[in-house]
Structures are given as C-alpha cells and as structure tokens.
Amino acid sequence: MRKLILLCLLCFSSLLHAAPGVFPDSTFNNLDYGLYWFGYGDTWQKAVPGQSNAYYGASKPTVIYIHGWQNGTTARKDRETFNREGAGGPALDLADSWLRAGYNVGVLYWNQFADEGEVTDAEAKIWSATGPRAMRWRNSSGVYASGPSQSVGDLLFKSYKDNLAGYSGSNIRILGHSLGNQVAIVLSKKISDAVTAGTVNSKLLPKRVALLDPFYSNNAKSWLGNQWTGAVSRSYVSELKGKGVIFEAYRTSAVTSTIFVGDANSGLMNMTAFSELKPWYFNSVQITEKHNAAVWHYLWSFSFNPPLVTGTSNQAASAKTSDSRITTLMNGTQKLVHDQGAYTKEPSDDNFKLQAR
C-alpha cells in the first residue's frame, strides 16, 4: 500500500496539462513566473506593472489560481490553465462563467521552481530561498539553473502587489491547489503584513481563500525555524481570519493526507469551511485524478446554484456560495460531507450532509 501511495504522489503533476500550444517555447526555455491574466478560451496576457492588459480591469472582482508541485512539466512544456480535460475534468473553459460574471481571472505561476523530483524540495522554496535546493529552476531541457535570492512567497507577492497596485475593487479570491495552498496562505500573510505596515492598499487583501485538496509534508523543517509547515500555516490562518479573510477547504483525495508522506493538518481544516468531496466517478486507483478534481470541481461549481445540505434549504459550500454563508460554515462546529452527486462530475446535483469535525 505504501508503494502505491508513494507512486501516486510522484504522479501528482502527471495529468496537470495546459492545452497544447497555449504558451510559447520561450516560456519554458527561460525563467518565467508571476501573474498572468486570462480571457475566454485560454487566451492570456502576462501582467506587467504599469502596462494595460486586455484581460484585466482595476475595479472588477478578481479570482487568482495558484498551482502546486510540477514535477516534469517543464520538459513537457505544460502549464496549468483553465482547460482541465486532460486532468480528468470536463471539456469546458472553466474560466468562462467567472469571466461572464465580470471577474478578472488570473494564475500566479511558479512552475519552474516547483519542477522538482521531491515534493519537499518544492515546498521549501515557498517559504525560504535557502532550503535544500535553494531557488533553482528547471528549463525545458531538464537542466537546473541557479535562481533568485527571494523565496517563491516573496517573488509572487511582488508580482501580485506591483500588478494590482491600482486595484479599486472590493473582492479578491485566491485559490491554492495541493502545495499551492501553502503559497496562497503565505501570500495572503505577506499582503496582510504589508497592509498593516501601510505599504499596500487594503483592497489587495483577499476577501476569500480556497484551499483545494491541500498538501503539507510531515516533520519540522530546518529552513522554517524547526517548525512544521502545517503549524505555521495554522498560525497565519488564525491571524488572517482575525482580519476578516474567509477560508474554505475541499478534500478530494487521500494521498495528500497519508501518514507516509503528508500531514493531514486537521487543525487547519477545522479552521475553515471544510468539505469532503467524493469523486467516485473515478476508480480506487485513480488517485491523481481525484487529487486534480478539487480544482476543476471548484471552478466549475461557480456555474451552478450552491449545493444544499440534504433535507434542508441551507446552502453547503461551493465557489458560488455567498461569502456570508461560507463565513458561517467556517465558524461552525461541523464539516460538510458529500452525500448526493458523488458519481457524477457535474456539480449541479451535489448535496452534502453535516457531520462533526
């Protein structure tokens, strides 16, 4: 069983494909990271501070996605986008409903830093520039090169704040998948600290953060003051909740919380509006597909009315569920467990039951 789980962990990124030809070769041959804005049909434009962008409006509500571990993707010239059919999702543009609702839709890329054979080496870069592999990055030939002296958290924070410097809206939502959930939390903490220091506009603090099948490795880290990443994340989330940030989390697979390689971080899940999804349209060995389902299910759920708690008119959690309802679920004592719709991919028939955390 342990060998199967470790094999599945190594395959986390194997199905996370961009549509062929979405990005030019130069994106993978040279170091490229930071914020990209998307339009319909996986069209995109990289965000450049001070330059107008066809897919960005300063007053619009905004959703930004952050990917996780990307082992082997640079050589394949793959980047995650909003086309998730190759990852087991629907043959749809999952940005479409968000764009039609008037959202800016973005991705914060760190894929070349995340392209490591060991997930913990990629994890270290989120927090520190002096971890086991420092900040090396991988090109499309599979060769590593020395990287910058800032951590992924610092680099993406700079890209975020510089490109949203003139943001005048009031609704930013950040999504983090797998290892990317740690990036989402670290980024939100850096934004919050900058707001407190008066160096960043308070409008840049995310209103809502979604943790999608989050991953944390086991054990204390020398590059994090001999603390567990999960423990530090809990302290950050506690502080951010005190500043009004809303947290939701969705579990779709067992791999990210197996005792062999991952910390379930139940304490963190209990601090969020936590839902256990059952993607039973995949079989028992399709663990990678189940892990990936967290992303496309959440993005797709924005197209439908919120699911209900079985036997009631109360809403369960989804991308479409209101901030106020997610806040109520976050501050409650129960979690949501998939009850109906587990055998169909489309979120429209989902219902959930409440259980003790």
| Straight-line distance from the first to the last Cα atom of the chain, in angstroms, rounded to the nearest whole number | 27
Q: What is the pLDDT of residue 22?
A: 86
Average pLDDT in the chain: 94
Q: What is the pLDDT of residue 259?
A: 57
Whole-Å CA distances, 240 to 117, 118, 176, 188, 252? 32, 30, 16, 8, 25
DSSP 8-state class, residue 220: -
User: Pairing mode, if any, of strands 351-356 and 334-340?
Assistant: antiparallel
Identify whether the C-beta of residue 80 lies closer than 8 Å to the C-beta of residue 123. Answer: no
Q: What is the pLDDT of residue 308?
A: 99
Q: What is the pLDDT of residue 256?
A: 66
> Is the confidence at residue 261, as pLDDT, over 90?
no
Phi/psi for 160 (5° steps) reads -65, -55
SS3 173: strand
Q: What is the pLDDT of residue 257?
A: 63
Number of helices (H), then strands (E), in the chain: 11, 13
pLDDT tens-digit map of 78-98 = 999 999 999 999 999 999 999
* CATH assignment of the domain containing 87: 3.40.50.1820
> Is the confidence at residue 327, as pLDDT, over 50?
yes
pLDDT tens-digit map of 149-167 = 999 999 999 999 999 999 9
pLDDT tens-digit map of 113-136 = 999 999 999 999 999 999 999 999
Q: What is the CA radius of gyration of the chain?
A: 19
> Is the confidence at residue 1, as pLDDT, over 70?
no
pLDDT tens-digit map of 184-240 = 999 999 999 999 999 999 999 999 999 999 999 999 999 999 999 999 999 999 999
Which domain covers residue 176, as residue numbers? 2-356
Domains in the chain, number: 1
Global pTM value: 0.95
